[in-house]
Structure 1
Amino acid sequence: MCGIYGSTIAYNNSQINEKLERSNFRGPDKLKFDHFGDDNQVIFGHNRLAIIDLDERSNQPFTYQEKVHLVFNGEIYNFKDIKITLIEKGYKFNTTSDTEVICAAYLEYGESCVNHFNGMFAFVIYDKIKNIFFGARDRLGQKPFYYYHNGKNFEFASQLSVVQLYNQNLSISKKAISLYLAWGNIPDPYSIFNEIKKLRAGHSFVFNLSTTEFTEKTYWDIDYKGENKYKGSFEDAVNILDHTLKDAVKLRLFADVPVGIFLSGGVDSSVIAALATKSTNSKVKTFSVKFNEKGFDESIYAQQVADHLQTDHHVIECNYEEGKSLIIDFCHYYDEPFSDSSAIPSMLLAKHTREKVTVALSGDAGDESFIGYHRYNWIKKGQLISSVPFFLRKIGASILNLSSSYRLQTIAKILSYKTADDIYLANMTHLNPSWIKSDVDYLDLDEIKYLKHKNKNLFERISDFDLKSYLVWDINTKVDRATMAFSLEARAPLLDYRVVEFARSLPTSFKFKGKNQKRILKEVLYKYVPKHIFDRPKSGFSMPFSEWFKTDLKDYVLSELSDENLEHIPCIDAKLVSLYIKEHMEGSWNRFTIIWQVLVLKQWLDNNGKGYPIK
């Protein structure tokens, strides 16, 4: 887990060093850069967080056989198996790292080497013989990759701000701001700057240094056409999932540094903790967050699971002042507007977990793969609503809109959408986007195809769509930046592509039957932890910001989002947002989500956007 950097732009050594210092929190163990190629036109740099083979022999940029140079962020969990195969083919190794294995695999398999890797990664290889960069991002986008290509030069990094530094040819994207206000994040391949893009998950690229041509291609995708269907019994599927997850957890427990588990007490993190205790003889360290506010403290459930599994459990108490400081420094780590407020407790959890371990396993991706979100449950109601003739729904909506009730107006908005697909997309963006001033079509995204087809039922299409959008754009971004802010590596066994592919092949009833969500995952869990511990409603991972905005943070919000300041924020209706803030402070309407989004955008513009034109 590290920060990578590379460029063909002729920066001086002082500038390169400053760029790497900007992302030093991603890898504080070693900062290093080298020049390669004819006239030293290639710069590769690296911030190392040493996890496997702590010896300096595995520092990067890494050179193999004087043929290829590599910078790599992430982990290849199955590198030992790949290494055995490569040794049989005559390759020799001087380290015990996965870094060296990537280089040898590229020489043996070429661009298809990525198909052999089970892991989370973003890497670039400089092939001296072919005079090209070959790079790739992992299948589900756990690791970030930003790049700048102006038709001549090419620059890349793990953090957008690193590419931004000393680049005088950037402009802020009005489209990206509009997409952010709708989705709460900036969807791939866009970034907040028009000229900087994100490499899509499951994609590789080639940059030809001779011709300066950049080409990108897909090397992996989910089976959204539903062609690979599991035919076995539910009991057999439980056993297959149990076995696959055990292997995924075991692979991710390997490290040359201490490893722990994020344990919220929910199904996903509990099954990971349970399987971890079965995969090691040492006592597993687990970590959870405690909030004092009523309705936000779930630590008691994590403690129950930890007691049953007999883990070395650590409860981190949320401190208001500490949380406030993370809000103020938020954009330093997230680099571009990002409004998932659970990023703050994620950062708190990572900060204190890092005091005990360097690697932490998480339960991310269980909801997407196994139909676990609340919204999947109420989408059943959306199906019923969409079955009512549209003209009748429009009449009902017009009547309900006469009410001042937030609940009734929300129902009215839902009634106004033609299909259940549209209802879902509205929920994932904004049921009432009237405060966003933009002519950008925020549904004009490639990922919409995973929802808008008829190859699968609604729940499977929604699940596919969330895997390709919400998981990549939001969840993985949140976890990567939150953990790397404190030099902590997060690993997610449920994001093992074998688990994801198996889940995609299963009948919907194996995952969601009646009101039982994540059915098959729960059956695996109940082999190790008593069912009665989980007989409670599902809860999310959040902080009491809605209340704090009316109390402890009220002055901060009113100062930052004054009427004068709102007028300078692009793509919003300043007067309407001002009204929303007033409604929230009075307690007549919960406008927290919108307030937080605008607050994050203003913070980014103040800290990173000065001097750049908005186009």
Structure 2
Amino acid sequence: MCGIVGIFDPRGERQIERQTLHAMNERQHHRGPDEGGLHLETGVGLGHRRLSIIDLSTGQQPLFNEDDSVVIVFNGEIYNFRELMAELVGLGHVFRTHSDTEAIVHAWEQWGPACVERLRGMFAFAIWDRNARTLFVARDRLGIKPLYYAQSADGSFIFGSELKALLAYPGMPRAIDPCAVEDYFAYGYVPEPRTIYQGAFKLQPGHTLTLRVGEAMPQPQPYWDVPFRPLGPISEADAASELNERLREAVQSHMVAEVPLGAFLSGGVDSSAIVAAMASLTKEPVNTCSIAFNDPAYDESAYAAQVATQYKTRHHSETVDKDDYALLDTLAELYDEPYADSSAIPTYRVCQLARKRVTVALSGDGGDENFAGYRRHRLAMAEQRVRSTMPLALRKPLFGVLGKIYPKADRVPRFLRAKTTFEALSRDLVDGYFHGVSVMPDRLRARLFSPAFRRTLQGYDAIEVMRGHAGVAPTDDPLSLIQYLDMKTWLPGDILTKVDRASMAHALEVRVPLLDHQLVEWISGLPSSLKLRGQEGKYIFKKALEPQLSQDILYRDKMGFSIPLASWFRGPLRQRVREALLGPAMADSGIFDMGFVTEMVEQHQSGRRDYSAPIWMLLMFEAFLRKETA
């Protein structure tokens, strides 16, 4: 795992300043503390920070072909690189290393931009082909590895693995994008392709950019999408059997490394499945890592210990105080733009623990997206069943009025919160799902922003992100559609971003076998009834795992990494919340209606309402603003 940066002059004339390229590269030193390298020639500069995983002795980057006409910087792992190397050698290519990086170089020479279609793995890379005067930039299919880019004030194309690398470039545009602010306060992160800055973008998963000297900046081009192509009739038994085989193969492909390797083990279904597969594939005990909390309400370490005992892993666990709020400012530095998933704190801690033992860790991320495992999937399908009984022309006025007049009830279970349900039922599936996943729903965002800021939005609404994806979705099955929306928004924007930054802060490589694209393609084609059966999400996944894991691992309620925000903001962080949210950074931004911000703080701290999620979002935004003006 590594960090990459680059500068490209579209005119092909300018000499790239080594000092600038070096500064950009060093902003990502944490991503690759083992080695660093730069390549500069007229019009192009490439930089790389290396965390050595494969071919430790000769895999240094930037890496060249035989005649030095093609050079690459690459972040990620290609799991089928040995098969690619054998094929390319058969086609006459000569390799000087045993690294997966060089396999990409020769794949580019052989197949050009179509080379990405031959790669199995997680990746973000840039190739400069001097003879073709072309810079080719690509990101993996699911967005496991990040890539940011911008066109600077001097016309240069700049890119990096993290936004902070771009900010090291002189003249990098830093005007805040109002639409990104609206997106952030709806989703809790800024979805692709936007960033918080108007002039900077994320290369979307499954996309490439091909820049040529003398040509205008092109639009990114897609090369892959989650197909959701039905597999055809398949029995439950056959699906479970094939799923086990495919999972085992995906895990095996992800275990290639020349450094210590292990796995995260939370005791949940996904991480336990990965550990079970790993244990069946190696004679050595699997290294497993988990964190425990000193409050039983937040602790599931006993389940992790149960799986560790069952599979005789070399298990390491550390206890974390549930009041672990010392990382608040660290998060703003890690994520570079507002990011409000509070589970970033325990994720940071488990990566910190894992790095004491291993350099590569396998994770269970992707299981909920693949198999419809989130509670919101069950709620959305229950709402959809009601929608199907009544046309929108009747539902919208009926449930719209009920949603407005019904009192909000934060403290009761979700299924009794009729206000939220009525509001969702007055909408179509996409709008209703957006309403369900929004951290701050429309009615709160309408009050949060100042009149002046709302005018800058020019009518833009964050729902447009989901509508855009829904408009090109390859499926009209309701459950598959919301899974598709998750894979385009939540998965890359929240889950994978969280894991990438938390792991790379500790120079730890995290691999995600459940997001192997071949496995994802196959799972997407399974009938929805095998994913969500009644109230049971991950139905076929759990059935397939029944011979390997106990019932209390498979069928207990999902816990996840949660932290006690509500009590923090009324207790130990009470004063910090007031100083941050009611202080000058927020007021001077001109973005917020400070009267409503004050109202939220007062009502939460008095116990009248639970505004913990919006307050956390505002805290993270305020930390970003302070960092910007520091």
Question: TM-score w.r.t. structure 1 length?
Answer: 0.93
Aligned residues: 603
Secondary structure of 1:34's aligned partner: strand
8 Å CA contact retained: 1:421, 1:451? no
Say if 1:394 and 1:192 are closer, same or farther in 2 by CA, change over 3 A. closer
Q: How far 1:506 sits from its partner (Å)?
A: 0.5
8 Å CA contact retained: 2:410, 2:609? no
Say if 1:131 and 1:275 are closer, same or farther in 2 by CA, change over 3 A. same
Q: Which runs of 4+ in 1 moved over 4 A?
A: 402-410, 451-455
1:267 to 269, 272, 286: 269
Question: Residues of 2 paired with 1:273 and 1:251: CA distance?
Answer: 14
Aligned residue identity for 1:379:
A
Aligned residue identity for 2:167:
Q
Single out whichever of 393-402 and 82-91 deviates more from structure 2: 393-402
Q: Does structure 1 residue 13 correspond to structure 2 residue 18?
A: yes
Single out whichever of 451-460 and 482-491 deviates more from structure 2: 451-460
Question: Residues of 1 paired with 2:101 and 2:256: CA distance?
Answer: 15
Show the counterpart of 2:201: 197
Show the counterpart of 1:28: 33
Say if 1:178 and 1:396 are closer, same or farther in 2 by CA, change over 3 A. closer
Question: Residues of 2 paired with 1:239 and 1:35: CA distance?
Answer: 52
Question: Residues of 1 paired with 2:473 and 2:208: CA distance?
Answer: 26
8 Å CA contact retained: 1:483, 1:489? yes
Secondary structure of 2:112's aligned partner: helix
Say if 1:402 and 1:552 are closer, same or farther in 2 by CA, change over 3 A. closer
Show the counterpart of 1:613: none
Say if 1:19 and 1:202 are closer, same or farther in 2 by CA, change over 3 A. same
8 Å CA contact retained: 1:149, 1:155? yes
Say if 1:477 and 1:281 are closer, same or farther in 2 by CA, change over 3 A. same
Say if 1:405 and 1:514 are closer, same or farther in 2 by CA, change over 3 A. closer
**What does residue range 449-460 of structure 1 map to in structure 2 within 5 Å?**
449-450=469-470, 455-460=475-480
8 Å CA contact retained: 2:582, 2:597? no
**What does residue range 281-430 of structure 1 map to in structure 2 within 5 Å?**
281-319=283-321, 323-386=324-387, 387=389, 389-390=394-395, 391-401=397-407, 411-416=418-423, 417-429=426-438, 430=440
1:436 to 428, 448, 451: 448
Q: How far 1:338 sits from its partner (Å)?
A: 0.8
8 Å CA contact retained: 1:451, 1:461? no
Single out whichever of 209-218 and 357-366 deviates more from structure 2: 209-218
8 Å CA contact retained: 1:451, 1:464? no
Question: Residues of 1 paired with 2:296 and 2:333: CA distance?
Answer: 31
Secondary structure of 2:361's aligned partner: strand
Show the counterpart of 2:168: 165
Q: Does structure 1 residue 154 correspond to structure 2 residue 160?
A: no
8 Å CA contact retained: 1:451, 1:465? no
**What percentage of aligned pairs have identical amino acids?**
34
Aligned residue identity for 1:354:
R
Question: Residues of 2 paired with 1:535 and 1:181: CA distance?
Answer: 33
Q: Deviations over 1:227-280 (max 9, x none)?
A: 443322221111211111111101111101001111111111110010000111
Single out whichever of 357-366 and 523-532 deviates more from structure 2: 523-532
Secondary structure of 1:253's aligned partner: coil
Secondary structure of 2:297's aligned partner: coil
Question: Residues of 1 paired with 2:213 and 2:341: CA distance?
Answer: 38
Secondary structure of 2:464's aligned partner: coil
Question: Residues of 1 paired with 2:209 and 2:586: CA distance?
Answer: 40
Say if 1:405 and 1:236 are closer, same or farther in 2 by CA, change over 3 A. closer
8 Å CA contact retained: 1:131, 1:210? no
Question: Residues of 1 paired with 2:298 and 2:567: CA distance?
Answer: 11
Q: How far 1:587 sits from its partner (Å)?
A: 2.1
Say if 1:504 and 1:533 are closer, same or farther in 2 by CA, change over 3 A. closer
Question: Residues of 1 paired with 2:556 and 2:417: CA distance?
Answer: 27
Secondary structure of 2:82's aligned partner: helix
Q: How far 1:516 sits from its partner (Å)?
A: 1.9
Q: How far 1:33 sits from its partner (Å)?
A: 0.9
Q: How far 1:363 sits from its partner (Å)?
A: 0.5
Q: Deviations over 1:6-61 (max 9, x none)?
A: 1036553333222222110011001221213xxx3211100100010111x21111
Q: How far 1:422 sits from its partner (Å)?
A: 2.2
Q: How far 1:169 sits from its partner (Å)?
A: 4.5
Q: Which runs of 5+ in 1 are unaligned?
A: 611-615
Secondary structure of 2:548's aligned partner: coil
8 Å CA contact retained: 1:178, 1:571? no
Show the counterpart of 1:579: 599
Q: Does structure 1 residue 528 correspond to structure 2 residue 548?
A: yes
1:498 to 515, 518, 522: 518
8 Å CA contact retained: 1:362, 1:493? yes
Show the counterpart of 1:238: 240
Question: Residues of 2 paired with 1:473 and 1:200: CA distance?
Answer: 10
Question: Residues of 2 paired with 1:325 and 1:309: CA distance?
Answer: 35
Q: How far 1:403 sits from its partner (Å)?
A: 8.1
Q: How far 1:193 sits from its partner (Å)?
A: 1.1
Show the counterpart of 2:12: none
Aligned residue identity for 2:346:
P
Question: TM-score w.r.t. structure 2 length?
Answer: 0.91
Say if 1:285 and 1:447 are closer, same or farther in 2 by CA, change over 3 A. farther
Q: Deviations over 1:72-127 (max 9, x none)?
A: 00000111111111111122212111011110111111111101111000000000
Q: How far 1:161 sits from its partner (Å)?
A: 1.2
Question: Residues of 2 paired with 1:570 and 1:144: CA distance?
Answer: 31
Question: Residues of 1 paired with 2:411 and 2:351: CA distance?
Answer: 39
8 Å CA contact retained: 1:48, 1:59? yes
Q: Does structure 1 residue 176 correspond to structure 2 residue 180?
A: yes
Question: Residues of 2 paired with 1:520 and 1:158: CA distance?
Answer: 36
Secondary structure of 2:327's aligned partner: helix
Q: How far 1:499 sits from its partner (Å)?
A: 1.3
Question: Residues of 2 paired with 1:81 and 1:531: CA distance?
Answer: 39
- The CA RMSD measured in Å over matched residues stands at 2.2
Show the counterpart of 2:2: 2
Secondary structure of 1:602's aligned partner: helix
Secondary structure of 2:315's aligned partner: strand
Q: Does structure 1 residue 556 correspond to structure 2 residue 576?
A: yes
**What does residue range 21-170 of structure 1 map to in structure 2 within 5 Å?**
21-36=26-41, 40-55=42-57, 57-65=58-66, 66-149=68-151, 152-170=155-173
8 Å CA contact retained: 1:52, 1:256? yes
Single out whichever of 348-357 and 578-587 deviates more from structure 2: 578-587
Secondary structure of 1:462's aligned partner: helix
